[in-house]
Structure 1
Amino acid sequence: MSNVILLSLAVMSLALCLAFVRLFRGPSLPDRVVALELFSSILVGIIGVVAIATDVPSLLDVAIVMALMAFMAAIGFARFLERGGPRDD
């Protein structure tokens, strides 16, 4: 593998670990939602880099589907937060 690919995977792995820490230590629910969105975006980037490195174009389809699912999850969380979050009814 190329040095550029290895460097980009290393940097994205570090960013993934930091997003994972923010996901669990986030002071509020909106912070955790943003961290989850960042986590999924970094994963899509890692899948894209692996697709380029291994020359497997079907991995790009996986990355596109994962990005769409992450987008829909972000919309769902935003609607949940807009309506006031969890209730004790």
Structure 2
Amino acid sequence: MKIMASIGLIIVSISIFGYLYRAIKGPSMADRVVALDAIGIALMAVIALFSIILNTPHFISILMLLAVLSFLGTISFAKFMDKGEIIEYERDDI
């Protein structure tokens, strides 16, 4: 089982470099956002595979925290691409 997890860890690590290339050289902002989201998902896979290799369940809480932060980052980028700002302030024009 640990050999398969090690092989998976190598494959996921190689894919992170591909995503990093797309995040840097992406032709559009949407491609960069998708690449950053994929990097977050790949990092979650790396943490899960390390948890399998080391036979410990303690990395799962870190995995959940990274999932929430990755989700919030993707939502923030999407809102910035849509409206040009992340936090909208309501102004009363009197």
TM-score > 0.5 by shorter chain: yes
Matching residue's letter, 2:4: V
Structure 1 SS opposite 2:49: helix
Matching residue's letter, 1:42: A
Structure ranking higher in helix proportion: 1
| Per-residue CA distance 1:18-52 (angstroms, 9 max, x = gap) | 00111101011111000000001000010011011
Identity %: 28
Aligned to 1:72: 72
Bigger mean CA deviation after superposition, 1-10 or 72-81: 1-10
Larger Rg: 2
The TM-score, its normalising length taken from structure 1, stands at 0.89
Using the TM superposition, give the Cα deviation of residue 3 of structure 1 relative to its aligned residue in structure 2, in angstroms. Answer: 1.8
Aligned to 1:22: 22
The TM-score, its normalising length taken from structure 2, stands at 0.84
Structure 2 SS opposite 1:81: helix
Using the TM superposition, give the Cα deviation of residue 5 of structure 1 relative to its aligned residue in structure 2, in angstroms. Answer: 1.0
Runs of 4+ aligned residues of structure 1 deviating over 3 Å after TM superposition are: none
Using the TM superposition, give the Cα deviation of residue 59 of structure 1 relative to its aligned residue in structure 2, in angstroms. Answer: 0.6
Structure 1 vs Structure 2 CA RMSD: 1.4
Aligned to 1:53: 53
How far apart, in 2, do the equivalents of 1:70 and 1:7 lie?
A: 25
Using the TM superposition, give the Cα deviation of residue 56 of structure 1 relative to its aligned residue in structure 2, in angstroms. Answer: 2.0
Using the TM superposition, give the Cα deviation of residue 84 of structure 1 relative to its aligned residue in structure 2, in angstroms. Answer: 4.1
How far apart, in 1, do the equivalents of 2:63 and 2:12 lie?
A: 15
Using the TM superposition, give the Cα deviation of residue 69 of structure 1 relative to its aligned residue in structure 2, in angstroms. Answer: 0.4
